[in-house]
Amino acid sequence: MPLKPELLNALRAIGFTAATEVQEQAMPVVLSGKDVIVRAKTGTGKTGTFMIPIMQNMPHTNAVSALVVVPTRELALQVTSFAESIGRRLHIRTATVYGGASMNVQVSALRAGVDIVVGTPGRLIDLMDRGVLRLEHVKFVVLDEADRMLDMGFIEDVDYILAKTPAHRQTMLFSATMPGAIVTIARHHMKNDFATLSIGGEETLIVETIAHGYTFASGRMKFAALLAYIDQVSPKKCIIFLNTQREAELVHSVLMEKGFNAILMHGGLTQARREHSLHSFKEGARFLIATNIAARGLDIENVTDIINFDAPDTSENYVHRVGRSARMGKAGRAFTILTRDERWLLNAIQNGMNIRMEELRLNLDKYTNFELPQRNRERFSRGGGEHAGRRTTSWNRQHDTGARQYERHDTGARPHGGNHGWGGDNRNRRRYHP
């Protein structure tokens, strides 16, 4: 690829020696300056696909030239980390902005002068409204994980942000799936000759290198099944998913009491603690206990196992969870603990994803008399320990799975009313502020 020598040197310095499939196919189009929609699974190298061309074509100005809009602060930090790793060698400065962190620190970073801004919609608009973030000189706009921003209700916010950027900008949209609303975005905000690239299988097709297993258990026997799986399979690096913050904390306390190196991550933690948890897991902790906040957007290498302590409520959420394993073509395992009343979920996942899940025969003998730590027994009993047969709208609102939870705790964006149409009058928008 026709990259300038200093950029090639910066890439070599961080260990880039060959392009991934998505980079090989999409980067030449992006480098040519065309607007582009790229549909590719997470974990395939999408960040490099847009960030390397931005670095290549970055103009020498004293204003913000590139804007990357992402759905969550975790993804914002990942994109920024990559940008800084190569940008510092090219004297290209990047700032990250997101809700839940100090506004003053972010304002100071922008006022010091940056070339690239990576941020979540709510905080970007807050900074724009304050006059701190000015977009009139932006040359490149990236919407990363656009389908997730649709799901989380950032429709009007993204529309508003794009309307404040110059019409002659280059717009790049990256998405793991391709719902019809993505095409609407393109028609509304991209030049007429935009390119559409579909690379690899759809995100909704399970990675072939993942082995899928399950078992039936309920109440305290779910803990017995979890510990038996860990004992028999001995996962090297594992994410354990739960549906509520309370149960995530409970499983975390059980594993810690058993002597495992376990890290906790959910939307109720402070931003500083979430960043510390993510760093600790990447740097060597064996288990990450998390709610659905970690199901998408996190690119963590070498995750060998995904355990669904609580079964996901849809086959799509199953895909997003197990997709944290088997990154970049590596092998992985997914293990789901189901109650008997959740047998319908087993059929829905197998039929919807066209996969076969194997029932695992676990040796529970060591754990048949398992007891929760004394301080947690009443808590688990009060909560029931499971939610089979009660998956209602109110149930969903209490869990970490919905857009409203993300908006309040992650980005400061306003809640939505389920309207997935783009456009509309933004003058009277009302948003939650961080």
pLDDT, mean of each 10-residue run, the chain (434 residues): 91 89 93 92 85 94 93 89 93 92 92 95 94 96 88 83 94 84 81 87 58 91 94 93 90 92 86 82 91 65 90 79 67 90 87 85 85 59 41 31 33 36 34 32
- Neighbouring residues of 55: CB distance < 8 A, sequence distance ≥ 6: 7, 10, 83, 86, 87, 90, 92
Please report, for the chain, the start and end positions of each structural domain, with discontinuous segments joined by +: 5-198, 210-394
Residue 95 is predicted with a pLDDT of 96
Residue 85 is predicted with a pLDDT of 93
Residue 121 is predicted with a pLDDT of 93
| Nearest CA-CA partner of 371 in 230, 253, 223 | 223
- Neighbouring residues of 400: CB distance < 8 A, sequence distance ≥ 6: 243, 244, 245, 266, 267, 291, 292, 293
Residue 173 is predicted with a pLDDT of 94
| Topology match between the domains 5-198 and 210-394 | yes
CB 210 within 8 A of CB 322: yes
Q: Which segments within 178-282 are labelled E, that is strand? A: 195-198, 210-216, 238-241, 262-265
Dihedral angle of Cα 130, 134, 140, 145, to the nearest 10 degrees: 0
Residue 205 is predicted with a pLDDT of 46
Residue 324 is predicted with a pLDDT of 72
Residue 329 is predicted with a pLDDT of 54
Class (C level, CATH) for 5-198: alpha beta
Q: Is 265 helix (H, G, I), strand (E, B) or coil?
A: strand
Residue 376 is predicted with a pLDDT of 55
> What CATH architecture is 210-394?
3-Layer(aba) Sandwich (3.40)
Residue 219 is predicted with a pLDDT of 86
Query: pTM here?
Result: 0.59
Helix, strand and coil content of the chain, in percent to the nearest 5, comes to 40, 15, 45
